[in-house]
């Protein structure tokens, strides 16, 4: 982990999931997300301790396990508060909700893992409690009620509102809960200004326009791919296999629920747009172009 100063009061830790740090005063700091597991939490505690700081609170942009995984160990050792927004608060407190939601039922053992299910921590609603010098704003789409955080230094933490060139080039698919809201968030981000933007899984940049375009183009590409495949009657599993085969992806349990949920979200978007329709054939749910 590398600590980088990007403002008078704002820092971030370079990490697979970037961690924001905001200095409320000479002694107390607030984290923005906490990494993917207790080991990440321990490393954060060590790094923060070496600076002579105390963690006053953790602000979670959203409740995916790689953003709240360090919450429990940090809270246990510091007694700090956790801040989360609306539905994200429920998922943060009851992490079993994430693999259950993704799978659509009680998750079998291989899905009850640290990548899909963190340790739970009590949380305070960010809409009524947020430290001075920090502002939140809605970034729905990737997950239910994800937020971004702007610091008094005009540094903007974007959670998973944007995915990196490397992720999109290598995997093509990235998790989306609500395609329409994700696209709305991309439109919103085109109009915001800031000194520096820090997505959770990208390098910090002072201009996000190219990244916005890349994310939008990939979504539209996948929408077109799925729509065209629905020329004939196809089932969800056939669509999912087609997407994986097209992008040379390899299926496992985690990918099945993450990408499967995302493909369902694409289908919902196309259905709500009136471009595809569902039906039932010999007790199988099928999808087909409607126009």
How confident is the model at residue 128, as a pLDDT?
A: 81
d(CA 136, CA 151): 9
Strand order in the sheet with 234-235: 234-235, 284-289, 276-281
Query: Which residue among 219, 252, 274 closes a domain?
Result: 219
Mean pLDDT by 10 residues, the chain (291 residues): 96 96 97 96 97 98 98 98 97 98 98 97 91 96 98 98 96 97 98 98 96 98 98 98 98 98 98 98 97 75
Instruction: Kindly state whether residues 196 and 230 are assigned to the same domain.
Output: no
CA distances to 7, 102, 109 from 261, rounded to whole Å, are 38, 6, 18
Residue 51 · residue 132 · CB < 8 Å: no
Q: Quote the pTM value.
A: 0.96
Residue range(s) defining the domain that contains residue 269:
222-289
State whether 125 and 232 are in the same domain.
no
* Model pLDDT, residue 1: 85
Last residue of a domain, one of 219, 234, 257: 219
Instruction: Please tell me the total count of domains within the chain.
Output: 2
Same domain membership, residue 234 and residue 130: no
Q: What is the pLDDT of residue 129?
A: 80
Do 15 and 68 share a domain, yes or no?
Answer: yes
* 22 plus 166 within the same structural domain: yes
Q: Residues 250, 182: one domain?
A: no
- Report the relative pairing of strands 19-23 and 28-32 from DSSP bridges: antiparallel
| Cα end-to-end span (Å), the chain | 51
Residues 6 and 69 both lie in one domain: yes
Which CATH number covers residue 214?
3.60.15.10
Residues 65, 118 contacting (CB under 8 angstroms)? yes
């Amino acid at each position: 982990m590398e600590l980088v100063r990007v403002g008078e009061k704002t820092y971030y830790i370079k990490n697979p999931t970037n961690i924001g740090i905001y200095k409320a005063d000479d002694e107390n700091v607030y984290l923005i997300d906490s990494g993917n597991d207790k080991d990440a939490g321990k490393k954060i505690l060590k790094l923060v301790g070496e600076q002579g700081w105390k963690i006053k609170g953790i602000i979670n942009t959203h409740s995916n396990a790689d953003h709240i995984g360090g919450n429990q160990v940090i809270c246990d050792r510091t007694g700090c508060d956790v801040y989360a927004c609306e539905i994200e608060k429920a998922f943060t407190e009851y992490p079993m909700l994430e693999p259950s939601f993704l799978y659509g039922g009680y998750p079998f053992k291989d899905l009850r893992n640290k990548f899909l299910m963190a340790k739970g921590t009590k949380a305070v609603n960010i809409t009524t409690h947020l430290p001075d010098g920090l502002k939140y704003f809605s970034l729905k789409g990737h997950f239910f009620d994800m937020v971004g955080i702007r610091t008094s230094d005009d540094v903007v933490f974007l959670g998973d509102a944007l995915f990196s060139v490397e992720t999109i080039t290598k995997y093509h698919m990235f998790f989306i809960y609500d395609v329409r809201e994700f696209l709305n968030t991309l439109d919103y981000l085109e109009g915001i200004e800031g000194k520096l933007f820090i997505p959770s899984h990208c390098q910090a940049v002072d201009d996000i326009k190219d990244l916005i375009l890349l994310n939008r183009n990939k979504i539209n590409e996948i929408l077109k791919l799925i729509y065209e495949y629905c020329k004939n009657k196809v089932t969800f599993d056939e669509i999912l296999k087609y997407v994986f085969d097209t992008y040379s992806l390899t299926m496992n349990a985690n990918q099945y629920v993450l990408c499967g949920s995302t493909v369902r979200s694409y289908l919902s978007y196309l259905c709500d747009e009136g471009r595809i329709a569902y039906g039932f054939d010999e007790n199988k749910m099928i999808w087909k172009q409607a126009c």
